[in-house]
Structure formats: structure tokens, C-alpha cells
Amino acid sequence: MRIILCGFGVVAQSLAELFESRKDELYSKYGLKPRLLAVFDSKGSAVNPSGLNFKKLVEIKKEFGSVKNYSEKNNNMTGIEILKNIDADVLIETTASNYKDAEPGMTHITTAMKKGMHVISVNKGPLALAFPSLMELATYNQVMFKFSGTVGGGTPILDYAKNSLSGEKITSFAGILNGTTNYILSNMTTGLSFEEALKDAKDKGYVEADEALDLDGLDAAAKLVILANWIMGMKVTMPDILCTGIRKVTIKDIKKAEANNSVLKLIASCDKELTVSPKEISKNDPLGVNGTLNAIAFTSEHSGTQTIIGKGAGGTETASSILRDLLDIRQEIAKN
């Protein structure tokens, strides 16, 4: 399978390492032989129609900070030039999420779809701002659009709701969709102030480069948009979410929740309206998980409420979700 990879950060490097470590198994078990034709990051590109070496790519990136040092040939091609000039089966989009205009991911995805390429995205920006139109574009161009790594990292939240609860009507859902804010709020229960808990989260590398994505609830809101569209069949985008982050949470708020035998969590919910805000939940509630865990409870018409808990983001976890999506595409192609 011929692949173009957008971005080569932690997730994409983890994916290259997965391809390298599991290549024999992927071929013998699933008939999948990933051939990486082109990779680009913010500083340059690496292109080889015969296939790039996964191990060498990761080594070059770690040594020089860019894949452009892989070779002298084609190392200044932009993402758009690569997508327009190189024929591939799948685009994997891993560039940083941007909730202002979703670029450059939006252009990468739409260009690939118009060329008839299947798309896997872990970039939440385009889905948060234009989910309904991207699904229509994929259908129009008869390509598959997969994005299981956008919510829950390696925890298959989207697959679970769509497949394990198929035949059921999900009436509402609520959950913790951002591990960073959960870590900060969990730490505040030990007596740390917001500023101290935030510093600790930053020291451990949990906070996004743009901290507003975590602290102002934008990351959780983007995931809520994806869930509402995919699972509930809504046609919503980021502006439809009522969003409040955790910057104003104080020790007083934490203690007030404690007195009510509750904990304070940043909850994203889809019921009568779509909201992201800090809420008190009972200590006995399955959503009361600590640390960087994510948890989401789906309430359905006949099965009651079911909760799925797991790790949120992480390089290897998110890379495993990309591989899962790639195998789905491989199976669909084989079927047809």
C-alpha cells in the first residue's frame, strides 16, 4: 500500500517504528505491505517512489530535526506539491491541530480526497471545523475517511460506540476527553494550586505547546464535535459547542466538591446541548478517573449506560489507532 505521510512528529515517528517492528507480521497476517513514498515536516521532505526506509527516517529526524536530510533529492517539496505530483493510495495526516482555520491539514485532506486517495487523520482541526463537508467530499470522491485516533488515542472509543453498540440508539454521552486537564484537576485534589498543578503537567510534557488547547477546553470540544457527528448523526462544528475551560478552577472549588463527596472534572457532554465545562461528579461515578486517563459513558435506549476507560493521547497509542485504520482500509480494498 502506497502511503504519503503528512508531518513527522512523535505520532508519525511512532508509526514508522511500528511499521518497522511489525512488517513481517503485517504482511503474513493481513497482506499489508506499507510503502512510504513521501514524508514531509515543517522544514522539508523525503521522497522515494520505491519506498523510504522507516528506521533511517526516524534516525535522521532525531539527528537533524527534519526528514529533509534523508537525501538531497526532492527535499524541498511542500506537502501540497507532493500530494499533487505523487500518486499514492493513502494519505496519513498527522500535522498539528489548528482550530482557527484547520490549515495546513484541511488542504492536505481535501487535495488527497479529490485525487482519489483514502485519508487517515489524527489531526482534529479539519474535523472540528468541517466534519459534515469532509464526509460529503469523501463520499463524492468514493474514498474512505478514517479518524479513530482523534478521540482517545489508542482507546477505541469511536469504534466501540459505532460497532459494539450498533443496533442500539445512543441517546446521550458524557466523558473526560482530555487527559491533561484531568491530570491537573486530579493533582489539585492533593492540595496543589492550579498554577502548581499546571507546572507539574508541563514538566511531565503533558501540556500542548499552545496551552489554550488543553486549558480552555478546545481539545475536548473538538473531540466532542467528532463524537456528536459520527455517533449521533449530528451536523455540528466547533462554534456549536458551549465551552468553558479550567483556568478559573480554584482550591476552594475542589474542596467544595470534596464536601459533597464529589470530584471536579472537565466534562464534555452531548444531551440536550453540547457543552464542555468543569462539573462536579460523584466519587462513585465511573467517570471519576484520575491522572491522564480518559473515560466516556454512553447512555443508550435499551442497554443503559456503558463506560469505556483508557489512555488518552500518546505517540505509540495514537500510532496503533492509525495502523488499525490502515488495516480497515486494506480489508475494504480487498473486499471490493
Q: What is the CATH number of the domain that holds 184?
A: 3.30.360.10
CB distance 260 to 253 below 8 Å: no
Say how far apart CA 128 and CA 57 lie, in whole Å: 30
CB distance 249 to 188 below 8 Å: yes
Domain hosting 324: range is 2-152+315-335
Looking at the structure of the chain, the number of domains it has is 2
Residue 164 has what DSSP assignment? I
Same domain, 122 and 191: no
Same domain, 307 and 319: no
Residue 297 forms beta bridges with which residues?
Answer: 174, 307
Say how far apart CA 239 and CA 112 lie, in whole Å: 26
Same domain, 252 and 307: yes
**What dihedral do alpha carbons 43, 89, 318, 123 form, nearest 10°?**
60
Residue 38 forms beta bridges with which residues?
Answer: 4, 47
Same domain, 88 and 186: no
Same domain, 111 and 189: no
Q: Which pLDDT score, from 0 to 100, does residue 317 have?
A: 85
Same domain, 103 and 225: no
The residues that are catalytic are 223
- Tens place of pLDDT for every residue, the chain, 336 residues? 999 999 999 999 999 999 999 999 999 999 999 999 999 999 999 999 999 999 999 999 999 999 999 998 888 999 999 999 999 999 999 999 999 999 999 999 999 999 999 999 999 999 999 999 999 999 999 999 999 999 987 678 888 888 877 778 899 999 999 999 999 999 999 999 999 999 999 998 888 888 999 999 999 999 999 999 999 999 999 999 999 999 999 999 999 999 999 999 999 999 989 999 999 999 999 999 999 899 999 999 988 999 999 887 678 888 999 999 999 999 998 887
Same domain, 163 and 305: yes
Same domain, 293 and 324: no
Same domain, 30 and 123: yes
CATH (domain of 322): 3.40.50.720
Same domain, 167 and 300: yes
Q: Which pLDDT score, from 0 to 100, does residue 264 have?
A: 97
Same domain, 327 and 199: no
Confidence (pTM): 0.91
> How many Å is the Cα radius of gyration of the chain?
20
Same domain, 305 and 168: yes
To 10 degrees, what angle do helices 179-188 and 194-203 make? 130
